[in-house]
Chain A
């Protein structure tokens, strides 16, 4: 088995279909016409399309959990213990995360059944796993455990609220449990970043820069933010529990707003050309 496993080789059964993120970005419908692209809108039960929007988001979470499981597993395998900066205790944390993510996959399958979503009903893009391919364990953990798992906190908190408002006991219960695990995973990332870069400010700066890049990518042009247009809300309280400082949360909010404004400007310029 190789030491680095590329996203395009992730093994799936025949139900799953891979979509290329670039195809989605290049979709001419995202920019042209009066309708414009998919609007950013808070996920609330009073939206006419809320059931299908929640199902689609839940399927995205499900494949995200599979990729998080695969990513944590690869961190167990890809790095020699100790010699190239992956301490024994870090690998134990990653193995623990494998178990948690495996449970999240199980929970997601059950939740999808509850919501009437078939496995593979929506396309899967592998770009979450891509962040788990960084060859430096510090950058990998910062990108995955602080940026992506941080996004998971925001998503689960949003879904939990959706379950609570719609009085869906299954959804609220599941999201609450997964949220607890994700806070633990983010904290792992924060702790390891601090520990492994204690005497190496340059490596810490690189890792935080990588986190910013991933955070921006995963703000999906305004997908996550603090305003009413954002489908997913930045979960400040849970991020604090996971070891984020207020300044760090403010920075993610700013990155998200920046991503949203850039996407708007991009759409406007394409519409003007088209």
Chain B
């Protein structure tokens, strides 16, 4: 099992502990098949507790370094408190996307490439669908809404979303094609 470093080790602005974050990430690494991956080495989670915003950025793949603003790991019902579901969702999307990128058959975009927002949302839906089947809080409708916002509100969009959500493993090219098709249907309407 890879070492998981959490920075900072102690929090001042939020009621988080490094162990809570480590516990969530350890489970995600197993589920994403990254636990014994030779490339990622140690895993580092950097939390920016100076802001309540909720952006998560993967800074490097090998070693795996994920930077999360504290709002991403916060219980939406309790200001400044750690939210297990929220953290699993935010960090899980980063960990599973990293696993996709490290899989040569996925054939993902270059690490520093600018992935358009519609494609990024489509990828997210594919990731969260897989996580839901592993027992994470599904929030399927939340993801559908986010997908519709980027691809239009239509039956065709829902069908496209279902393909992303229920597929066990798609390649990057397949994700891009589903996203582009969905947008072209609405564009043509």
Contacts and interface: CB of A to CB of B under 8 A. Distances in A.
A113 B145 CA distance: 10
A51 B146 contact: yes
Contacts of A55: 142, 145
A114 B145 contact: yes
B66 to A, nearest CB: 17
Nearest to A170: B153
Interface string A106-142: 0000000111111011110000000000000000000
A168 B79 contact: no
Interface stretch (A31-39, A65-73, A150-158, A226-234): A31-39
A23 interface: yes
B110 interface: no
Judged by DSSP, the binding face of B is loop
Contact of B78 (A113, A114, A123, A170): A123
A55 B51 CA distance: 20
A116 B13 contact: no
A165 B77 CA distance: 29
Contacts of B12: 28
B50 A33 contact: yes
Contact of A168 (B117, B144, B149): B149
A241 B43 CA distance: 58
A24 interface: yes
B14 interface: yes
Nearest to B189: A167
A199 interface: no
A51 B143 CA distance: 9
A113 B12 CA distance: 36
A48 interface: yes
Nearest to A23: B79
A201 interface: no
A254 interface: no
Interface residues on B, range: 20 to 34
A217 B52 CA distance: 21
A115 to B, nearest CB: 5
B37 interface: no
Given A116-B145, A168-B148, A38 B53 contact: yes
A60 to B, nearest CB: 12
Nearest to A122: B76
Contact of B140 (A115, A116, A169): A116
B17 interface: no
Contacts of B51: 29, 33, 35-37
A29 B50 contact: yes
A122 B77 contact: yes
Interface string B126-147: 0000000000000111111110
Interface in A1-36: 17, 19, 23-24, 27-30, 32-36
A35 B69 contact: yes
B48 interface: yes
A206 interface: no
Contacts of A51: 142, 145-146, 149
A50 interface: yes
B153 A45 contact: no
Contacts of B54: 49, 52
Contacts of A197: none
Contacts of B179: none
A50 B150 CA distance: 10
A34 B77 CA distance: 25
Interface in B32-65: 48-55
A164 interface: no
Given A29-B51, A37-B52, A123-B76, 4 more contacts: A29-B80, A115-B142, A118-B139, A120-B77
Interface of A: 17, 19, 23-24, 27-30, 32-39, 45, 48-52, 54-56, 113-118, 120-123, 166-170
24 contacts: A17-B77, A19-B79, A23-B79, A27-B80, A28-B12, A34-B50, A35-B53, A36-B51, A37-B51, A45-B149, A49-B54, A51-B146, A52-B54, A55-B142, A114-B141, A114-B145, A116-B140, A116-B142, A116-B144, A121-B76, A123-B79, A166-B149, A167-B186, A168-B148
